[in-house]
């Protein structure tokens, strides 16, 4: 089943493991500072945010461990694929996020990277980590739903 997207939104990559490993408390859209070769590589649909997270450095929020592969047609101007990338927030939003990270022990996890009107955006989730027994419960429910669907489909034949 394919998720519906907003008109004018082209999804580059998703972080599917994030919803399994974390509880999302809040979702925030942020711009991302990229170089020319990074944008061209993303327009080809390449990029990964599966193991990435966001932290604060000197009062700014940076995306760590995101992978944007090298753009083949770029020459000496090419970028570093694992470079830290700055996220664009308002000063008020940055202060709020830094406070939540430091006081409440929450993390910032990117869930989706996409283009809106030609601009690269990242959906950042303010998240709390799940315990092992929570993950087991999610797997159990998912398996039961799958088995239930199989049983109903066999009965309808």
Alpha-carbon distances of 154 from 24, 74, 98, 143, 151, rounded to whole Å: 36, 54, 52, 17, 5
Low-confidence ranges of the chain (pLDDT < 70): 1-7
Instruction: Determine contact, residues 87/66, Cβ cutoff 8 Å.
Output: no
Query: What does pTM read for this prediction?
Result: 0.78
Q: What is the pLDDT of residue 6?
A: 67
The answer to whether the CB of 52 falls within 8 A of the CB of 157 is no
User: What count of Cα atoms within 13 Å lies in the side-chain half-sphere of residue 146?
Assistant: 6
Give the CA count within 13 Å in the CB-facing half-sphere of 98.
14
What is the structure's pLDDT at 1? 47
Query: Which CATH class, in words, describes the domain spanning 9-130?
Result: mainly beta
Q: Could you state, in order of their start, the residue ranges of all structural domains in the chain? A: 9-130
């Amino acid at each position: 089943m394919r998720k519906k997207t907003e008109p004018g939104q082209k999804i580059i990559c998703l972080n599917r493991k994030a919803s399994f490993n974390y509880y999302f408390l809040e979702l925030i859209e942020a711009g991302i500072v990229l170089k020319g070769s990074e944008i061209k590589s993303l327009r080809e649909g390449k990029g990964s945010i599966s193991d990435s997270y966001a932290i604060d450095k000197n009062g700014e929020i940076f995306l760590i461990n995101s992978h944007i592969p090298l753009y083949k047609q770029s020459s000496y101007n090419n970028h570093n694929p694992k470079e830290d990338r700055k996220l664009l927030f308002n000063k008020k939003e940055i202060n709020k996020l830094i406070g939540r990270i430091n006081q409440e022990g929450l993390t910032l996890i990117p869930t989706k990277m996409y283009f809106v009107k030609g601009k690269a955006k990242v959906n950042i989730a303010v998240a709390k980590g799940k315990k092992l027994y929570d993950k087991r419960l999610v797997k159990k429910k998912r398996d039961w739903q799958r088995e239930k669907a199989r049983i109903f489909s066999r009965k309808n034949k």
